[in-house]
Chain A
Amino acid sequence: MNDALLSVRNLSVSFSTYGQTAEVLKDVSLDVPARSQIALVGESGSGKTVTMKAIMGLLHHPPATITGGQIFYDGRDLLTMPARERLKLRGTAMSMVFQDPMSSLNPVFTIGDQMGTILKYADRRLGRSRGKVERMARVHEVLGQVRMRDPERVTRSYPIMLSGGMRQRVLIAMALLSEPKLLIADEPGTALDVTTQAQILKLLKDLVEERGLALMMITHNLGVVRETSSYVYVMNKGVVVEHRPTAELFASPADPYTKALIGAVPRLTGGSGFGRAGAAA
């Protein structure tokens, strides 16, 4: 154990389906210090989302089994603490933002209703309570923090009435409702246009700086890693193959997988030279 806000130690996870067992995380260790911005990068199926779910306590058993390791939050092991204690932390001290705003919002309730309900349950878990008016005030405050121009209108809107970028902002606002110390973002903005994605990434960066949060950015996009993190973990097939300061990783990648990954990214400056290597399988 160390003094990072979040510390994952030697985490291993297996999935059992149809009598077959697959180890999808092998001995994964990573640290997220308070107020830091770290990234977890890897290709599809490398285990990024499973890592996030293990941290947030969202893995279902069966099919998932945590076969080894610890996950420390603020010095306490989430995997051995009583379920009720753990529930108190989820969505409050540690929050998350998902990739697809539409599937994480309920189409039949207004944004205000949904945010109010989330806050009510978060308060209840923490043994707090506040009235409806106070709750709405907090909802408006948070929508303001994610730079929504007209919070009152947004709270009265149904998800379908908002643009993709606005929905993503709503999800970020939801994650901020209970003033978390740690925000885990799984591919935020990838479902959006590149211009809207740039706005969302900047917003996240500004928020973690303003509010002193720690950010764990999960992405398959190395450009996003460079723009949003100062330390990066590279994952391949359930294993962390390399971790270092982001600038160093791009300057001198050490692991062959990382090198290949960086080499495959087309450059805005040109000269990536497709076709020259020949189309090897």
Chain B
Amino acid sequence: MSAMLEIVRLSKHFPVRNGFGRQTGEVRAVDDVSFSIEKGKVYGLAGESGSGKSTIARMIMGLTRPTSGDILLDGRNITGDTGTRAYGRKVQMVFQNPGSSLNPRRTVGQSIAVPLDAHGHPRSDRTRRIVELLEMVQLPAEFASRYPHELSGGQKQRVAIARALAVVPQLIVLDEPTSALDVSVQAKVMDLLVDLGRQLELTFLFISHDLSLMRNFAQQVGVLYLGKIVETGPTATVFENPQHDYTRLLLASVPVISAEEAAMRPVIPLIDGEIPTAEQLLALRNAGGPDSQRIEQ
């Protein structure tokens, strides 16, 4: 077995400054995080807003420099080298908001040509490759001459995926790739990612708030809480038998559409008749352990 991506004791601290610009403390946005992703697999990263998911993605992409720790891609330490061509070729990212990640003044074809040119793809072959990539994401060739405002949200996200695939990456980082989309469009984009992943043997780091989606896409998951991974393991194991209170709270909060799913959600004790926050739940645990009372449906 070989890891495509290995994250070793990765940390990122941001300085907190007062109104006069003096540093008064620091945020541990990512705190001693380690995990690895096998070649051809999907690793899901879940956690509430501000838990450090995007910061990890940015460090992998070389957009933010880690405070400490290492990032290994296909066995090679890439912690220092950022933005280099060879690196960009291996790692690509698809962002949450397809609207803002595409340049409104470039046609779809021009947007896809950017990574091709940057990586020295022969100009004579450019048009053919663009059509091939559009085909891969199930868009007709004539979309190459359209502008982003002429596309639906799902179509824009497919263009973003086509662009990420342009130079055949080994690892694709997906940061909330479908959260701006309707479920029916989301299903199509996910189908596409799964098919392409199989076809091209891609490895994915999949960041999402949506645990139901994660359950169906990732083989392994990690749950981030305040910059730390509090639980990690095979998706089925973590979902069926969550060990950490925060994971349990997260799973208990997912709105579901069937009784089987509802039965799978952990039982969380109510505090003063309300669903507790993660902080309250963990404080209660530290004070001696919560007794269970079902969240009323």
Residues of A that sit less than 8 Å from B by CB: 43-44, 147, 193-199, 201-203, 206, 220-227, 250, 260-281
Contact across chains for B182 and A223 when beta carbons are under 8 A apart: no
Q: How far is the CB of B237 from chain A (nearest CB, A)?
A: 12
Q: Write the B174-192 contact mask toward A (1 if CB under 8 angstroms, else 0).
A: 0000000011101110111
Contact across chains for A261 and B274 when beta carbons are under 8 A apart: no
Contact across chains for B260 and A269 when beta carbons are under 8 A apart: yes
Given contact pairs A198-B255, A266-B210, A279 touches B191 in the complex (Cβ within 8 A): yes
Contact across chains for A43 and B253 when beta carbons are under 8 A apart: no
Contact across chains for B258 and A275 when beta carbons are under 8 A apart: no
Cα-based distance from A206 to B254 in the complex (angstroms): 18
A227 partner residues in chain B, CB cutoff 8 A: 255-256, 297
Contact across chains for A202 and B192 when beta carbons are under 8 A apart: no
Contact across chains for B216 and A271 when beta carbons are under 8 A apart: yes
Contact across chains for A274 and B253 when beta carbons are under 8 A apart: no
Q: Write the B185-210 contact mask toward A (1 if CB under 8 angstroms, else 0).
A: 01110111111011000000000011
Given contact pairs A147-B274, A202-B275, A281-B138, A194 touches B182 in the complex (Cβ within 8 A): no
Partner of B215, one of A203, A268, A278: A268
Q: Interface residues of B toward A: which range?
A: 35 or more
CB-nearest residue of chain A relative to B187? Answer: A264
Residues of B that sit less than 8 Å from A by CB: 48-49, 137-139, 153, 182-184, 186-188, 190-195, 197-198, 209-213, 215-217, 235-236, 239, 249-258, 260-261, 264-265, 272-275, 277-278, 295-297
Contact across chains for A193 and B49 when beta carbons are under 8 A apart: yes
CB-nearest residue of chain A relative to B260? Answer: A269
A225 partner residues in chain B, CB cutoff 8 A: 257
Q: How far is the CB of B244 from chain A (nearest CB, A)?
A: 13
Given contact pairs A202-B295, A222-B257, A275-B198, A267 touches B138 in the complex (Cβ within 8 A): no
Contact across chains for B253 and A266 when beta carbons are under 8 A apart: no
Closest 9 CB pairs of A and B: A223-B255, A275-B194, A198-B253, A279-B192, A264-B187, A43-B182, A274-B190, A272-B216, A268-B261
Given contact pairs A222-B257, A226-B255, A250-B258, A261 touches B212 in the complex (Cβ within 8 A): no
Contact across chains for A226 and B256 when beta carbons are under 8 A apart: yes
Q: How far is the CB of A78 from chain B (nearest CB, A)?
A: 30
Contact across chains for B255 and A201 when beta carbons are under 8 A apart: yes
CB-nearest residue of chain A relative to B192? Answer: A279
Q: How far is the CB of A199 from chain B (nearest CB, A)?
A: 5
Counted as pairs of residues, one from A and one from B, with CB atoms less than 8 Å apart, the total is 143
B138 partner residues in chain A, CB cutoff 8 A: 279-281
Give 10 A-B pairs besides A227-B297, A279-B192 with Cβ atoms closer than 8 angstroms: A44-B182, A147-B274, A194-B48, A222-B183, A266-B210, A267-B256, A270-B236, A271-B216, A274-B190, A276-B191
Q: How far is the CB of A270 from chain B (nearest CB, A)?
A: 5
Contact across chains for B183 and A265 when beta carbons are under 8 A apart: yes
Contact across chains for A266 and B215 when beta carbons are under 8 A apart: yes
Contact across chains for B273 and A265 when beta carbons are under 8 A apart: no
Contact across chains for B216 and A195 when beta carbons are under 8 A apart: no
Cα-based distance from A44 to B139 in the complex (angstroms): 21
Cα-based distance from A132 to B264 in the complex (angstroms): 50
Given contact pairs A222-B257, A223-B256, A274-B191, A194 touches B275 in the complex (Cβ within 8 A): no
Given contact pairs A202-B295, A279-B191, A279-B192, A195 touches B249 in the complex (Cβ within 8 A): yes
CB-nearest residue of chain A relative to B51? Answer: A193
Given contact pairs A266-B212, A279-B192, A193 touches B184 in the complex (Cβ within 8 A): no
Of A195, A250, A270, chain B has the most CB atoms within 10 Å of the CB of A195
What are 17 A-B residue pairs whose CB atoms fall within 8 Å in the complex?
A: A194-B253, A195-B253, A199-B274, A206-B273, A223-B212, A226-B256, A227-B255, A265-B257, A268-B211, A268-B239, A268-B251, A269-B258, A270-B236, A272-B216, A273-B216, A279-B191, A279-B195
Q: How far is the CB of A248 from chain B (nearest CB, A)?
A: 13
Q: How far is the CB of B81 from chain A (nearest CB, A)?
A: 33
Partner of B257, one of A43, A226, A275, A281: A226
Q: How far is the CB of B151 from chain A (nearest CB, A)?
A: 13
Given contact pairs A193-B49, A267-B212, A260 touches B184 in the complex (Cβ within 8 A): yes
A263 partner residues in chain B, CB cutoff 8 A: 187
Q: How far is the CB of B272 from chain A (nearest CB, A)?
A: 7
Of B137, B153, B183, B188, chain A has the most CB atoms within 10 Å of the CB of B183
Cα-based distance from A202 to B295 in the complex (angstroms): 9
Contact across chains for B188 and A280 when beta carbons are under 8 A apart: yes
Partner of A43, one of B49, B184, B260, B275: B184
A224 partner residues in chain B, CB cutoff 8 A: 255
Q: How far is the CB of A114 from chain B (nearest CB, A)?
A: 24
A43 partner residues in chain B, CB cutoff 8 A: 182-184
Contact across chains for A203 and B211 when beta carbons are under 8 A apart: no
